[in-house]
Amino acid sequence: MDDFVTVAGVDDLESGELKKVVHEGKVLLLARVGDNYYCADNRCPHLGGDLSQGDLEGTIIKCPLHKSQFDLKDGKVIRWTNWSGIKLALSKIFRPPREMETYPLKIEEGKIMVQI
Ligand code: FES
């Protein structure tokens, strides 16, 4: 198991805010929902959209590119793109839905620490 690393301070994010952080070349998405914090890959598993530029509703992050939705609690796909019909069917063949990678996180002494 890797050790936890500090990626930000708890006061660096307001509730409902998304933040992109880079740690040793790895680009991560931090999110704060109330007093809970979440960490995931910043890269959308669909086609690499910058999730830090997406919309956050509760723990659901919506990608700015094609509007796929993922739950930050576990990375599960809520919706794969906002496409429909043949376009969605083809996209699922060529790019099957896949979960967003999430990372364990803990708060210690005002620091957001992530296990990556
Ligand atoms: S890149 Fe995120 S939904 Fe397409």
Q: What is the pLDDT of residues 85-109, one digit of tens each?
A: 999 999 999 999 999 999 999 999 9
The tally of domains found in the chain comes to 1
Cβ of residue 77 lying under 6 Å from some atom of ligand 1: no
| Better-predicted residue by pLDDT, 2 or 9 | 9
Distance 82 CA to ligand 1 centre (A): 9
- What span, in angstroms and rounded, lies between the C-alpha atoms of 80 and 103? 21
Quick one: average pLDDT of 58-65? 98
Beta-carbon contacts of 35 under 8 Å, excluding residues fewer than 6 positions away, are 15
3-state secondary structure (DSSP) of residue 11: helix
**Whole-number average pLDDT of the chain:** 96
Cβ of residue 47 lying under 6 Å from some atom of ligand 1: yes
- Name the residue range of residue 70's domain: 4-115
DSSP character at residue 74: T
CATH code of the domain containing 23: 2.102.10.10
